[in-house]
Structure 1
Amino acid sequence: MFRLSRLATTATVVAAAFTLLVPAAASAGEPTLSDPRALANFNFDAGETPENIALEPDGSANVTLAHARQVVRVDGHGTHRLLSVLPSVPDPNTPGIGAAVVTGIVRAKDGTLYVNYATGTSETGIWRIGPHGGTAVQIAQLPADSLPNGLALDEKRGVFYVADSARGLVWRVPLKGGTATIWAAGSVLQPLGESVGYEAGANGIKLHGDAVWVSNTDRWTLLRIPVRRDGTAGSIETRATGLDGIDDFAFTGKDDTVLAALITDSTIAHIRPDGTHDTALTAPDGLSNPTAVALHDKTVYVTNASYFAVPPNPTVLTAHLTHDEDPDTSGGSGNRS
């Protein structure tokens, strides 16, 4: 998700959509977030706006800095090391943004990183970065009028899924690179209007429980798209509504409990399997237009892009995750409502 005014200046299957709020298996316990703190700070004026996150096995965080076109690795002490800079593009024309931005990121089992790069030119698509950083290489191209945002990787099937915020659909791309095809489309994936400075339909995306889950920022919804045995998309289900400005999200375990970043409200929402939701963290906890959530053991990571804040305060924030029946020894307290 990007703020335009300040930063811009310095398919194969069309899935039928229907609303379905289906109760899933009961959660093992209500998640609680405590002890929120800034792990790493960034320079907004340099375009260092943390946008998305992929974690290493040791808990280090690979983070995309959207307008700086950078990917950095943040260790447990908050030190960040530059891994790669996406190439400068003459006259970028990303839909609704104008600037070239690096967005979603995923990590393969061998440590290879893949990122979405949106430019409004032929450089728009998926780019590969080695496990230790280095020059990014484009492996797949997406249309110039697309805005690839969230990125998910299914190594078992050998494919990526890309949430396109501008065109309001989900692309499927071979892991080895090559031609992108439309995997799922429909009105529930499309944007409504410029609710956050530009049209933002399908945004965050995750694989969970033999399905692709997608957030729609304009429509305030969390969607589930089953993956059929032949790899095609099933009918799109609306699993939660009323999530003002939902961006990317993460699952807390094997059930369908979700922690979601609500960029416009500067909150982290706790979404239950039945679609009901409440608030886990808010701005007083250190949130500043959060864009993504990731989990490692009992640590939750949040990217704060701070697109709308005055003054801006972009950070990577961490918090401690417990469930109701778990002992919480963190000593901190988070917000719940």
Structure 2
Amino acid sequence: MKYLSTLSTLTASALAANVSTVHQFSNGTWLENIAAMQNGSLLVSTIGVAQVHIVHPQTSPATFSTIATFPNATGAFGITEFKKNVFAVIVSRSAPEYRPTLQKYSLWKLDLSQKEKTTKVSMMAELPDMAMPNGMATLNQETLLLADSWYGNIAAFNIKTGKTGVVLEDPSLAANFSAPGLQLGANGIKVHDDYVYYTNTAQAIAGRVRVHPSTGKPFGFFETVRDSTLTGPDDISIAKDDTHYA
């Protein structure tokens, strides 16, 4: 029950925190996901124009530049570091009619490990078995976890083999196609202390499940919490003091 009480104080903690603008993008920019580098810089993915930007909060004012633009694509989604200064990012390119089930998705690598050199951008794999991969987290150096917001499950991607397979399925991950507004299921995802934490947008819940650290398969029960102030949760983050933000 500790998890439930922790999440129940999430909203109050967030409201009490001091919030400030790090960098202002131009109006109309759809910022989708963010990943922090070990040096404090931030990688930010965007939808509409499929790009990843790097923001340097260390300078005053903060500076930014575009480090990746993906060809023939409509958006960049979840982004996660799986090796020091090497990141994976989900990229979509739409079919003629825009619907999540008609999108085509792929996984790309951004290598920022070489200082003072341009980012190396390369495709890791197509994701033909996923309808709408959205949030993503690193389980270990060989495995990434991808939340499919349309199919309502979480899949594991093997970096070495390029193969993807569903490892987590539960009603708390499912989409709700009768819900008003966004009908997306599993959305934001993080890995922390052998637990996978996630949000479900349509169900307005946050949850977690203990998983096997090698495979990502469930090693315990799914726990969920619904807060009356938690409306359409998107991403989730966990601070060093174990505070959860959604």
Partner of 1:253: 240
Match for 2:87: what amino acid? L
TM-score normalised by structure 2 residue count = 0.80
Q: Per chain length, whose mean CA-contact separation is higher, i.e. which structure has more relative contact order (CA < 8 Å, sep 6+)?
A: 1
1:211 aligns with 2:195: yes
Equivalent residues, number = 224
Shift of 1:195: 4.9
Partner of 1:273: none
- Partners in 2 of 1:145 and 1:112 — Cα distance? 23
- Partners in 1 of 2:232 and 2:152 — Cα distance? 15
**Structure 1 runs of 4+ with >6 Å offset:** none
**Structure (1 or 2) with the greater helix fraction:** 2
Pick closer, same or farther for the CA change 1:136–1:198 going to 2, 3 Å.
Answer: farther
Pick closer, same or farther for the CA change 1:210–1:218 going to 2, 3 Å.
Answer: same
Pick closer, same or farther for the CA change 1:236–1:203 going to 2, 3 Å.
Answer: farther
Partner of 1:128: 109
- Identity among equivalent pairs (%): 24
Shift of 1:107: 1.9
- Partners in 2 of 1:68 and 1:197 — Cα distance? 23
- Partners in 1 of 2:207 and 2:32 — Cα distance? 21
- Partners in 2 of 1:193 and 1:133 — Cα distance? 43
Which deviations, in whole Å up to 9, do the C-alpha atoms of 1:222-250 show, x marking residues without a partner?
12121136632235423321321111111
Shift of 1:79: 1.3
- Partners in 1 of 2:92 and 2:129 — Cα distance? 8
Pick closer, same or farther for the CA change 1:82–1:137 going to 2, 3 Å.
Answer: same
Which deviations, in whole Å up to 9, do the C-alpha atoms of 1:74-109 show, x marking residues without a partner?
1113211111011114xxxxxxxxxx2211111234
Q: Please give the secondary structure, in 1, of the residue aligned with 2:236.
A: strand
Flag structure 2 segments of 5+ consecutive residues without an equivalent: 96-102
- Partners in 2 of 1:203 and 1:196 — Cα distance? 17
Which deviations, in whole Å up to 9, do the C-alpha atoms of 1:20-79 show, x marking residues without a partner?
xx225997x99565442222112244xx31111111222111100122101000111321
Pick closer, same or farther for the CA change 1:24–1:202 going to 2, 3 Å.
Answer: closer
1:112 aligns with 2:86: yes
